[in-house]
Amino acid sequence: MTDKQNNFTQTASTEDIVNLSTFTSVENYDILVLGGGPAGLAAAVSAHENGASVLLIERERRLGGILKQCVHDGFGLLRYKERLTGPEYAQREIDCFLAAEIPYVLESFVVDVRKEGSGYVVCAQSAAGMKAYSCKAIILACGCRERTSRQVFIHGQRSAGIFSAGTAQYFVNIQGKMPTKRCVILGSGDIGLIMARRLTLEGASVVGVYEIKNAPAGLSRNISQCLDDFGIPLHLSTTVTEVLGTQRVEAVAIEKVDTNMNPIPGTREIIECDALILSVGLLPEIELANALDIPIDPATKGPFVDQSLMTQAAGVFACGNVLHVNDLADWVSWSGEIAGENAAKYCRNPRGFFTNKDGCVGGEPVLLQYSKADFLYVVPQYVSSHGPFPLTLFFRSREDVKDKTITLASGGVTLPSEEALQDGKGGGYISKKYRRIIPSEMEALKVKSLGRLGDAVEFRLKME
């Protein structure tokens, strides 16, 4: 038994929060977009272009999400065919959003979301008071959060100087504060690598990046340009096991780990430093999905969705990093567009919308099967031959593999694709050859159509 109220961020005495009669006015929109980062901005624009009335709710002071603090470049190569910095990428999305004159509220924090009739009610708190909004559809675009030192069971002292890489990035790039002179970075996620370079540029010394796994978690270009360029060593199969220093971090203990990631006795080494910066993974922020009791995929830690990016709750869509943690902002924006377009379609005709809920019209999305030994995850988790198309399957392999073919199959049959048949390249099958697939780099398999497949009841993604 779970008490829904208590599952939610604000626990106490909110029983009357969505009792609409307590609000003097309730604003009504087709779609509420929750989050004003790249996913939310793209979703709002796309929903607006598809004829829906949209309100975007952002909890921070400014639009742009986490990109505001990502001052490094490498964004937009897919979307804009240019190498942009995070703020530049964000500004393009913001400009586009503002040009569409879509209403939005800033520094508004969603404190509750409920199903109400066939739609939803959202209550947000801001300096202007408690506001209620009703809508037909919701697009979750609330991004992700960093795993903490506690979630990776770092022991020893709880001194000042233990920061997640994103927090350190905020200190440096937004507030102009230096959180360290000499640090150790645990985890080779991209933010950790980016921060290794950033802190070095600002005069700190980065003793090394330590990764518990036997392969780096971040992109290889970041290993090259952030670590190699500055002579920062990357130590694989090594982790931080203890923090020393009662007030401020004075040192950390590192230990080599075995193949089961357990520390190897006798390998302990003390490294003097004033900070431990963690880049140990990101987790979708699913608080609002939880409040709506939306099923969560244990593999992505985000909601299950079908190819319209609708979750298991009719009318609730998810995009960007709340859906699964992406490597590239470009994919985040792209998923926002898909969610926005489909949410708008849903608003026009909820019952006719292709859905796996009650009232669906054929081609019911079915859970895509895949081997957990080959794949870490695949998104969307539900697929239907009725669309919408194009369908892009995002996946991560479990292992570092070479020369593999990824194939989408139905039952025992590999599906002929219209596109493939037309251009005659793919040999009539939805499959793609990959020279190398590594877990840290998400891959995308684009499917333009599932052709004349009819109501397929089983799909499987295979790696051979």
Partner 1 sequence: MEIICIVCPNGCRMEASGEGGNLQVSGNLCPKGIDFAKAEITAPMRSLTTTVATVFPESPRLPVKTRSEIPKGKVMEAMAKIRTVVVHEPKKVGDVILPDVFGTDIIATGELAR
Partner 2 sequence: MANCAFGVICTKKLGSLQNLLARKYPGVECFEFGDSVRLEGTLGDWETIVRCGKFAAKAGFRAVINDVSLKDFTPPPMRTPPVKDNALQGLTPDVLIIGGGVIGCSIARELSRWQLSVLLVDKEDDVAMHASSRNDGMIHPGIASHPGTLRGEYNVRGNAMYDQICKDLSVPFERWGSLILYHERWFGISARFFLGYRSKALGVPGRHLNRRRLEALEPNITKEANGAFEYPTSGILSPYKLTVALAENAVENDVQISLNTVVTGMDVEHGAITAVHTNRGTVRPRVIANAAGCFCDTVAGMAGDRFFSIHPRKGECCILDKNAGPLSQRSMGLIGLAAAFSTSKGGGIMRTIDGNVLVGPDAYEQPLREDFSTNRENLDAVMNKHLQLINGFNRSQVIAYFAGVRAPTYEEDFIIEGSRRVQNLIHAAGIQSPGLASAPAIADEITKLTLSRIGGKILPNPRFNPVRNASPAMAKLSLKEKQELIAKNPEYGVVVCRCEGISKGEIRAAVRSPLPATSLDAVKRRVRPGMGRCQGGFCTPLVAELLQEEGVESITKKGAGSELFVGSLGDKATEVYPDD
Distance, in Å, from the CA atom of 50 to the CA atom of 44, rounded to the nearest integer, reads 10
Q: Which helix (H) or strand (E) holds 88?
A: helix 86-99
Cα 242 to its chain centre, rounded Å, is 30
Cβ at position 272, least distance to partner 2 in Å: 14
Cα angle 354, 357, 363 (rounded to 5 degrees) comes to: 40
Tokens of 159: 């001194």
From the list 53, 157, 225, 414, which residue makes contact with partner 1 (rule: CB under 8 A)?
225
From the list 4, 158, 181, 221, which residue makes contact with partner 1 (rule: CB under 8 A)?
221
Applying the rule CB under 8 A, the residues between 231 and 260 that interact with partner 2 are 241-242, 246-248
Nearest to 59 by CA among 157, 138, 127: 127
- Residue closer to partner 2 by CB (options 130, 413) is 130
Which residues are CB-contacts of 372 (< 8 A; sequence separation ≥ 6)?
299, 398
Applying the rule CB under 8 A, the residues between 185 and 214 that interact with partner 1 are 198, 201-202
Distance, in Å, from the CA atom of 40 to the CA atom of 54, rounded to the nearest integer, reads 11
From the list 83, 181, 268, 446, which residue makes contact with partner 2 (rule: CB under 8 A)?
181
Nearest to 40 by CA among 143, 181, 184, 180: 143
Query: Do residues 395 and 445 make contact, with C-beta atoms less than 8 angstroms apart?
Result: yes
Burial environment of residue 442 by CB neighbours within 10 A (0 to 12, 13 to 18, 19 or more) = buried
Could you say which of partner 2, partner 1, none residue 266 binds, taking C-beta under 5 to 8 angstroms by partner kind? none
Site for partner 2 contains 99 (CB under 8 A): no
Distance, in Å, from the CA atom of 289 to the CA atom of 140, rounded to the nearest integer, reads 8
- Residue closer to partner 2 by CB (options 199, 378) is 199
Which residues are CB-contacts of 318 (< 8 A; sequence separation ≥ 6)?
139, 140, 141, 289, 302, 303, 305, 309, 311, 339
Site for partner 2 contains 436 (CB under 8 A): no
From the list 71, 77, 100, 111, which residue makes contact with partner 2 (rule: CB under 8 A)?
111
Q: Print the binding letters for residues 132-161 with partner 1: x by CB under 8 A, - otherwise.
A: ------------------------------
Q: Print the binding letters for residues 44-83 with partner 1: x by CB under 8 A, - otherwise.
A: ------------------------x--xxxx--x-----x
From the list 1, 99, 117, 412, which residue makes contact with partner 2 (rule: CB under 8 A)?
1
Cβ at position 229, least distance to partner 2 in Å: 16
Distance, in Å, from the CA atom of 447 to the CA atom of 433, rounded to the nearest integer, reads 14
Other beta carbons within 10 Å of 100: 15
Site for partner 2 contains 16 (CB under 8 A): yes
From the list 78, 98, 174, 215, which residue makes contact with partner 2 (rule: CB under 8 A)?
174
Nearest to 313 by CA among 437, 136, 455, 80: 136
From the list 49, 88, 107, 441, which residue makes contact with partner 2 (rule: CB under 8 A)?
107
Residue 261 backbone dihedrals phi, psi, to 5 degrees: 65, 25
From the list 160, 236, 401, 453, which residue makes contact with partner 2 (rule: CB under 8 A)?
160
Cβ at position 125, least distance to partner 2 in Å: 5
Distance, in Å, from the CA atom of 360 to the CA atom of 368, rounded to the nearest integer, reads 18
Site for partner 2 contains 22 (CB under 8 A): yes
Site for partner 2 contains 180 (CB under 8 A): yes
Q: State in Å, rounded, how far the first CA of the chain is from the last one.
A: 43
Applying the rule CB under 8 A, the residues between 156 and 175 that interact with partner 1 are 172-175
From the list 441, 448, 458, 460, which residue makes contact with partner 1 (rule: CB under 8 A)?
441
Site for partner 2 contains 62 (CB under 8 A): no
Residues lying near partner 2 in the complex (CB under 8 A): 1-3, 6-7, 9-14, 16-17, 19, 22, 59, 107, 109, 111, 125-130, 145-146, 148-151, 153, 155-160, 163-164, 166-167, 170-172, 174-181, 202-203, 241-242, 246-248, 274, 290
